[in-house]
Amino acid sequence: MQGAGAAVAATCFVTVVYQAIIWPNVARLGRTNPESTAFIDSYLARRDDSGKRARLLWTWVPYDSISPNLKRAVLVAEDINFFSHSGFEFAEVRLAIRDALAGNRDLRGASTISQQLAKNLWLSPSRNPLRKIKEALLTRQLERHLSKRRILEIYLNIAEFGPGVYGAEAAARYYFGMPAAELNELEAAQLAAALPRPARWNPLSDSESYRRYAARIVERMDKAQFLWRRI
């Protein structure tokens, strides 16, 4: 029994040391932009495994080169309280759990933009408990080391807006033939509506559900006038 306990303790110690070695330097994001993300790397690996040539569209632009319309659209769609919480929306988590227990198959998301950023940069879409713990720790570090403006800037530059289309600039040019700075409200809403299901929901989709969701985002943008002061 003692031998088994010692083996477990040793395994835990090695795991902790290994995680400490590979743990991301979150504070560095305050000074430098990421060279890639876990989600981009995963996309490229899947394309390689399938034998298909990977098409990656990704162009980094600074915060001021992204339309305020897209910032507003993403905030009302993904995280309306982004500027007032510290990385977590516990009310949304409770609602997500309630819907899950009720058997709602179209489960609502409960992740804030900060949580989504942590997942996209360093983790995977997996829902296993260890991944969720890492996400929570990384989210706390993002909120501690970076400003809200910087978190939003990075998120808008690495979010997936369609297969192989990452970031606001690449999405705006690919779908609308213009820089991200020039997106109007409807175009911005169409991009924001793609975020939950970018493989199927994007401006090239003919899904009626997607179109209705984009229209609802425009309505929310009209009501959330307070966001103009924050972005």
| 47 pLDDT more than 90 | no
pLDDT value for 51: 67
Element housing 160 (H / E)? strand 160-162
β-partners of residue 58 are 166
Residue 214 scores a pLDDT above 80: yes
C-alpha distances in angstroms, 113 versus 4, 66, 102, 116, 228?
42, 17, 25, 5, 18
Q: Which of 56, 41, 73, 45 is nearest to 156 (CA)?
A: 73
Q: How far, CA to CA in Å, does 120 sit from each of 8, 41, 139, 228?
A: 31, 10, 11, 26
pLDDT band at 3; cut points 50, 70, 90: low
Structure confidence at residue 150 as a pLDDT band (50, 70, 90):
very high
pLDDT band at 16 (very low <50, low <70, confident <90, very high): very low
Residue ranges of the domains in the chain?
2-230
This prediction has a pTM of 0.85
What is the structure's pLDDT at 93?
Answer: 55
Work out the pLDDT band at 202, boundaries 50, 70, 90.
very high
168-193: per-residue pLDDT in tens? Answer: 999 999 999 999 999 999 999 999 99
The 10s digit of each residue's pLDDT in 107-117 is 445 699 999 99
In this prediction, residue 94 carries a pLDDT of 52
Rounded to 5 degrees, φ, ψ at 146 are: -120, 150
Average of per-residue pLDDT across 42-61 = 86
Q: Residue 32 has what pLDDT?
A: 97
Find the helix or strand (DSSP H, E) in which 43 lies. Answer: helix 38-50
52 vs 128, more confident: 128
| Token output for 81 | 């309280």
Q: What percent of the chain has pLDDT over 70?
A: 81
> 2-230, which class in CATH?
mainly alpha
Between 24-33, 97-106, 162-171, the lowest mean confidence (pLDDT) is in 97-106
